[in-house]
Structure 1
Amino acid sequence: MSTVTLLPAVSPAQALFDCAVVMPERDVASLVDAELNRSVDPDEFRDLCLTHRGRHGMPAARRLLRHASLRAASEPERVLGRELSVRGFALAPNLPIGPYVGDFVDERARIVVEVDGREFHSEPEVFRGDRRRQNWLVREGWMVLRFAAYDVLAHPDAIADETTAAVN
């Protein structure tokens, strides 16, 4: 703890940790994911979890860190990444495959999961580019699972179940 203009202040990692141990997991998950991607070093957060082992809320803080959805490009991708991780099925986010980048990739199973939102994928050139990318991936032996962002946000558990079923 330090002082700023005579007021006590904690680090961003400590503030995030304090939120993680007192707030309901479902309410704080997006904050944890966002800050671990932006202003808080995941290792510093992990160290706080180790330092405060017996503190109330620690199991939740450790789960939030373990299932953090890092490097997600959008909120639907963040939500799906966390749901997959909860199932012990973390896929690599935003991984290059040839000349393209897959939203979620399992290289061993050769599966790419794409989350498409109307905001970015309704423009004609983006729409056509998505088709060219999917055709290239299929020709190269990849299975492509494509989900609407709306469906991911409305039913993340069902989308995660469908994804894990396709890979297993």
Structure 2
Amino acid sequence: MPGPVARPARLAHPDVVVHQLTVAPGQLVRVDGIAATSPLRTVADLVLREDRYAAVCVLDSALNRGLITDEDLLAVPYLIRRRRGAVAARSHLAEADGRAQSPLETRTRLRCVDGKVPPDVLQLMVRDDDGYLLGIGDLGWRGPRVIAEADGRGPHGTPEAVYADRRRQNRLVNAGWTVLRFTWADTLDPAYIPWTVRQAIAAAQRR
């Protein structure tokens, strides 16, 4: 199937340009009565235009929210073939993981991958000897017992969330886990997150 054909046309207003796209049957849906491309087609278009971090965030979010499935991803290479950016976009697909619950978690994971300290599990469930759930870590390194938390301002910014995070962290620390916490600003420095994780792993291995 050929890629989308853009036909720009200027309206009366000089700053407004309309782009028309040709889409195949089944790639168009209606949202509140407004025509829009389907989630899969939208994701395919976006991964062509965004850089790696933004593209993987889009993929992770779409998978996590159930807008697309892992099987749907198999169709993306077909949708983007022979289009500009397709080579890079195919590599982004391989990094998608629907367990990530926010773009911040995705960015934190990618920083760890780039820094050669990839987590071995996402959404790590830690239980005590009686099976009681102590907490769930966003990213986990099970061998050295290190957890990294991606603290977004929204979900973790309320007083109730802060108190809950502290109680959960205390339980995990008392069970022998090291808990690291990262913010969006931390992901802007390519070296900081992997360096911090590496230090925590090294410290755990000396114990």
**What TM-score comes out, normalization by structure 2 length?**
0.61
Give the distance between the partners of 1:94 and 1:79, measured in 2 at CA.
15
Distance in 1, Cα, partners of 2:62 & 2:56: 10
How many positions carry a matched residue from both structures?
Answer: 164
RMSD: 3.3
Cα deviation digits, residues 99-134 of structure 1 (max 9, x gap): 211121122221111223444445444333323322
1:12 aligns with 2:39: yes
Task: Give, in whole Å, the separation in 1 of the partners of 2:124 and 2:94.
Answer: 20
In structure 1, give the amino acid aligned to 2:123. Answer: N
Q: Is the 8 A contact 1:103 1:115 kept in 2?
A: yes
1:5-154 counterparts in 2 under 5 A? Answer: 12-38=39-65, 39-49=67-77, 56-87=84-115, 89-98=118-127, 99=133, 100-147=135-182, 149-154=183-188
Structure richer in helix, relative to its length: 1
Percentage of matched positions with identical amino acids: 29
Deviations 1:32-53 (A, max 9, x none): 3322333122332234337877
Runs of at least 5 residues in structure 1 that lack an aligned partner in the other structure: none
**Counterpart among 166, 169, 194 of residue 160 in structure 1:** 194
Which has the greater radius of gyration?
2
Bigger relative contact order, structure 1 or 2, given CA contacts below 8 A and separation 6+?
A: 1
Q: C-alpha separation between the residues in 1 aligned to 2:154 and 2:79?
A: 43
Q: 1:126 to 1:31 in 2, by over 3 A?
A: closer
Residues 47-56 or 57-66, more deviating: 47-56
Using the alignment, how far apart are the partners of 1:37 and 1:65 within structure 2?
A: 14
| Change in CA separation of 1:35 and 1:28 when aligned onto 2, cut-off 3 Å | same
